[in-house]
Structure 1
Amino acid sequence: MFGRLLIAQIFLIAGFDKLGHFAQTAGYMSSLGLPMTNILLTLTIVIEICLVATSMDLHGFKPEDMMPGIPAMSVAAALPYLEAAKKLLSF
């Protein structure tokens, strides 16, 4: 249970930080060339706060089924930024 609380804390902090700085986060996403930043950001906040942290993780909703979703979500969140990172790192 303690491990689940630690994992949930990561997503709760990230989700509430995005919620508190919505315009800045959306602006950052737009500067990297991501389309529909408001929709993507809202979806990310909902997933981080509502689905992952609270209902599944803290309440122990089939944690063995949820755990593969965390790395999948991390990869899906990182993929759009890879193209922007390539542009920033190319000289």
Structure 2
Amino acid sequence: MSNSLHILLGRILMSIMFIMSGWGKLMSPAGTAGYFESVGLPLPQVTVWVVIAVELLGGLAILAGFKTRYVAYLLAAFTLAAAFIGHYNPADQMQMIMFMKNLAITGGFLVLASVGAGKFSIDRR
């Protein structure tokens, strides 16, 4: 398999989680805002829409290979912040697994930012 196909497959796999998560939040913004309030995020009624936009639009941009390097850096920072805000709890093994998952995803986005979207992308047109 060529590098371009590997990059395309990686973009598809990385984007699925963000598209699905953003869509889920879009279908229940009040519930998501309530969760954000419970963990102490500022302005949860506004933050929810920022998170939806980052996840949904960022995931779609990665999928299409549009402005990939910029979006990959954005999603790397977003995912790292989410790791510390939502999952860093050394007393809870499941939360630490989720924390480490987010670290791995952050690493994947940094690699994607480094190599770009590959041949099969809007960026290459």
TM-score where L is the length of structure 1: 0.72
Q: CA RMSD in A?
A: 2.5
Quote the offset at 1:65 in angstroms: 4.5
Percent of residue pairs identical: 31
Q: 1:53 aligns with which of 59, 62, 77?
A: 59
Q: Is the 8 A contact 2:15 2:62 kept in 1?
A: yes
Does the residue aligned with 2:48 lie in a helix, a strand or coil? Answer: helix
Distance, in Å, in 2 between the alignment partners of 1:9 and 1:16 is 11
Deviation at 1:5, TM superposition (A): 1.0
Determine which of 73, 77, 81 is the counterpart of 2:78: 73
**Counterparts of 1:81 and 1:10, CA distance in 2:** 16
Match of 1:67, SS state, is helix
Aligned to 1:11: 18
Give the Cα–Cα distance (whole angstroms) in 2 for the partners of residues 8 and 27 of structure 1: 25
Distance 2:32 2:67 in 1: 31
Deviation at 1:7, TM superposition (A): 1.0
Higher relative contact order (CA 8 A, sep 6+): 1
- Cα distance in 1 for residues equivalent to 2:12 and 2:87: 30
5+ long unaligned stretches in structure 2: 1-7, 93-125
Aligned positions, number: 85
| Partner-residue secondary structure (3-state), 2:54 | helix
- Give the TM-score of the pair, scaled to structure 2: 0.55
Alignment pair present for 1:43 and 2:81 = no
Structure showing the higher helix proportion among its residues: 1
